[in-house]
Amino acid sequence: MESPKYELSANADFTVFEFTSTGKNGTIRKAIKYTQTLNENVFNLGFGDIIFSDETTIEIDDTNLSNNGDLDMIIATVVYSIYVFTQQHPEAYVLFGSSNPAKVRLHRMIISRNYEAITKNFLVFGAMHNKQGQLVNVPFDSISDVEGYFVKRR
């Protein structure tokens, strides 16, 4: 994705990125956090408005829709953070999704629209819970409903 993006600042291990959204509702501080799951190679991507930060902690609200009129730039910025994160953590699988089915459909539309460009650098999978309750990857397709997505650098 070659869209304009916001300038990112990152912490030392490239697991937290911050930027400022500028739009019709003013400036809004945002953060992208990569949190290791119980599987050491799987990191959950969290994204949202910063509600608290200090030298060691950053908390985000991932439920608020700030509707600042800059969705394309925000998407490009989050995608860029995945590139940077996986350069530093090449074995990592990045997991992202939402409890909101509309957001998951938006993710699928973005991936589908940019699939050729994305798959030059990443493997893309759907994420579903199996019968044992484990989150597993399934082949990506542009029409199936899934619970989220995994990407891994090639």
Phi and psi, residue 33, nearest 5°: -120, 135
Does 2 reside within a domain?
Answer: no
Tally of structural domains, the chain = 1
CA distance 133 to 131: 5
Cα separation, 30 vs 47, in Å, equals 7
Domain range for 111 is 9-153
pLDDT per residue, tens digit, the chain (154 aa), is 568 999 999 999 999 999 999 999 999 999 999 999 999 999 999 999 999 988 888 999 888 888 899 999 999 999 999 999 999 999 999 999 988 888 899 899 999 999 999 999 999 999 999 999 999 999 999 999 999 999 999 9
Largest CA distance in the chain: 46
* 1 occurs within a structural domain: no
In a domain, 45, yes or no: yes
What pLDDT was estimated at residue 43? 98
Partner residues linked to 16 by β-bridges: 33
Could you write out the DSSP letters of every residue in 15-77?
SEEEEEEEETTEEEEEEEEEEE-SSTTEEEEEEEEEEEE-SS-EEEESS-----S-HHHHHHH
Q: Quick one: pLDDT at residue 1?
A: 54
Q: Is 94 among the domain residues?
A: yes
* Measured distance CA(151)–CA(103) in Å, rounded: 17
Q: Name the DSSP class of 92.
A: P
Read off the pTM.
0.92
